[in-house]
Amino acid sequence: MNEFGDAFHTALVMIVSANPDLIEIVGLSLRVSLSAVVIAALLGMPLGAALAVFAFPGRRAVVVAINALMGLPPVVVGLTVYLMLSRGGPLGVLGLLFTPGAMIVAQVVLVLPIVAALTRQTVEDLWLEYREQLVSLGVTPRRAVRTMLWDGRITLLTAFLAGFGRASAEVGAVIIVGGNIDHLTRVMTTAIALETSKGDLALALALGLVLLAVSFAVNAAAQILRDMVVRAQG
Amino acid sequence: MTAPTILPLSIERLFYAVAGRALLESVSVEIAAGSRTVILGPNGAGKSLCLRLAQGLIAPTAGCVVWKGPGAAQAKMRQAMVFQRPVLLRRSAAANVSYALAVRGVPRADRPSRVEEALARAGLAGLGDRPARTMSGGEQQKLALARAWALKPEVLFLDEPTASLDPAAVRAVEAMIQAIHEGGTKIVMTTHDLGQAKRLADEVLFLHNGRLVERAPADRFFEHPSTLQAAAFLRGEILA
């Protein structure tokens, strides 16, 4: 109990004093996870909306595949991205392995199906409501996708948050493709795993607290944004 | 210069079935420019289905819908539709109208004046910034009509536009429909409300059990219906 208390105290001191190592790790974590979620949203939201609006042969199979990919094991994604980015791999020429770029790639692969699947579900519900009106106006499917994404923006925040949650809490993929290199690819989750295994519970705990705080902060910001939009647009 | 008309609208041997059950059978009618056409009939007669097929929202199981006017190629962009329950985007009232104008290719610079004009005509002047979905039911339906009006359609389809409104809102919506008609727009609407049909119809298409039972000028239909079903409906009897 004492050990936990001491670790907790040291963790708080590190946070309050803005420990440089802590700040560096937190900063990189946010940079990697937010980049991955933004890229996944830019790709996944139009993809999900298109799946809801466009009718084409094999659509159901694609939907099932994307839903299934939501549960991709991170270590499998890490291994696959590692093989793709390794020197002998098809994308080895990019020289991304063991860089934050590789970690972003791995997280995009993990987050994209989540964002796409949740977007599809949201837009499908909205499309049921809007379809006849938009078709009667002569809206093209492409414009319909844009309209659905804009009008569903409040609900789609949930997809973004779910993606961020997955990315920020993920450890298996980023440790494989990033290598957990100090001052280069060490993020909160990989650092927590490492420091815990070394017995440095204070830093691990401090990082855990920050990770929780970030999660709360992002969700609170999303809720405030959501309330503002609801107040403005009904 | 006036664009060539898309009318008449020819509905030929229209048949629509779901799971082997016919909901609309062998409906043939030609809808010409000018007069207000009201599709009348009891609930479940196939009125809304007929309107959706005519508008092109759904494809018939058999038969066809053909715009026969010289401007037929532009038919999709020269018509508008208002539904029983208004479907409004999650935006302001003005943005709802502006969106429809954008879809129809109205230049951005022309949109604000068209929006303002449509809202004013609908009695919604000053409410442009209000979130559309926070408006009352009557205001929402007026906004849906304003949106359709702003498009200056040649044909306006209305599916029971006052079915869930209070009497004051019904009066306002009917006045708008009349004004839109006087502006040169062909009105094709469904209703099961006899009073409304008497107030608004120039011509009646009477549907029962998915069949077009009678077509007649409104005066003649209400005074001397030529079919037993129409006569029974006018007497207020419940049709089997």
Domain that holds residue A125: 2-233
- ipTM at complex level: 0.92
Percent of chain A residues topping a pLDDT of 90 = 74
Rounded distance between C-alpha atoms, residue B228 and residue B233, angstroms:
9
- Put simply, whether B37 touches A (Cβ < 8 Å) is no
- Domain count for chain A: 1
State whether B87 and A137 contact (CB < 8 Å): no
- pLDDT value for B239: 80
- Put simply, whether B173 touches A (Cβ < 8 Å) is no
- pLDDT value for A232: 73
Rounded distance between C-alpha atoms, residue A154 and residue A131, angstroms:
19
Residue B239 inside a domain? The answer is no
- pLDDT value for B164: 82
Rounded distance between C-alpha atoms, residue A82 and residue A202, angstroms:
31
> From the list A136, A147, A233, which residue is nearest B57 (CB)?
A136
pLDDT band for position A221 (cuts 50, 70, 90): confident
Closest CA to B94 of B126, B51, B57, B61: B126
What are the tens digits of pLDDT across the range B81-111?
999 999 999 999 999 999 999 999 999 999 9
CATH number (domain holding residue A181): 1.10.3720.10
pLDDT band for position A9 (cuts 50, 70, 90): confident
> From the list B83, B91, B157, which residue is nearest A233 (CB)?
B91
Q: Give the residue from chain A lying closest to B93, CA to CA.
A: A233
CATH number (domain holding residue B61): 3.40.50.300
- Cα angle B88-B94-B99, degrees, rounded to a multiple of 5: 65
Which chain A residues are within 8 Å of B52, Cβ to Cβ?
A: 132
- pLDDT value for A1: 53
- Domain count for chain B: 1
Taking the mean position of all CA atoms in its chain, how far away is CA B38?
9
- Put simply, whether B73 touches A (Cβ < 8 Å) is no
Phi, psi angles (nearest 5°) of residue B91: -145, 180
Residue B3 inside a domain? The answer is no
Rounded distance between C-alpha atoms, residue A92 and residue A89, angstroms:
5
Mean pLDDT for the stretch of residues A196-224 = 88
Lowest-confidence region among A12-16, A137-141, B174-178: A12-16
A45 vs A199, which has greater pLDDT? A45
- Put simply, whether B99 touches A (Cβ < 8 Å) is yes
Following DSSP, what letter does each residue of B112-148 receive, concatenated? HHHHHHHHHHTT-TT-TTSBGGGS-HHHHHHHHHHHH
Following DSSP, what letter does each residue of A108-161 receive, concatenated? HHHHHHHHHHHHHHHHHHHHHHHHHHHHHHT--HHHHHHHHHHHTHHHHHHHHH
pLDDT band for position A234 (cuts 50, 70, 90): low
What are the tens digits of pLDDT across the range B23-55?
999 999 999 999 999 999 999 999 999 999 999
Helix axes A201-233 and A20-53, enclosed angle (nearest 10): 40
Residue B2 inside a domain? The answer is no
Mean pLDDT for the stretch of residues A191-208 = 89
Spatial CB neighbours of A189, under 8 Å, sequence gap ≥ 6: A29, A168, A169, A170, A171, A174, A175, A211
What are the tens digits of pLDDT across the range B128-181?
999 999 999 999 999 999 999 999 999 999 999 999 899 999 999 999 999 999
- pLDDT value for B1: 56
What are the tens digits of pLDDT across the range A21-32?
889 999 999 999
Quote the minimal CA–CA distance from A140 to chain B in Å: 9
Mean pLDDT for the stretch of residues B71-81 = 94
Lowest-confidence region among A135-144, A192-201, B201-210: A192-201
Q: Which residue has the tokens 């002569």?
A: A138
What are the tens digits of pLDDT across the range A146-194?
999 999 998 899 899 999 999 999 999 999 999 999 999 999 999 999 9
Residue B1 inside a domain? The answer is no
Domain that holds residue B222: 9-234
Rounded distance between C-alpha atoms, residue A31 and residue A72, angstroms:
22
Which chain A residues are within 8 Å of B133, Cβ to Cβ?
A: 233-234
- Put simply, whether B136 touches A (Cβ < 8 Å) is no
> From the list B57, B131, B151, which residue is nearest A234 (CB)?
B131
Mean pLDDT for the stretch of residues A105-109 = 97
Rounded distance between C-alpha atoms, residue A103 and residue A78, angstroms:
9
Quote the minimal CA–CA distance from B90 to chain A in Å: 6
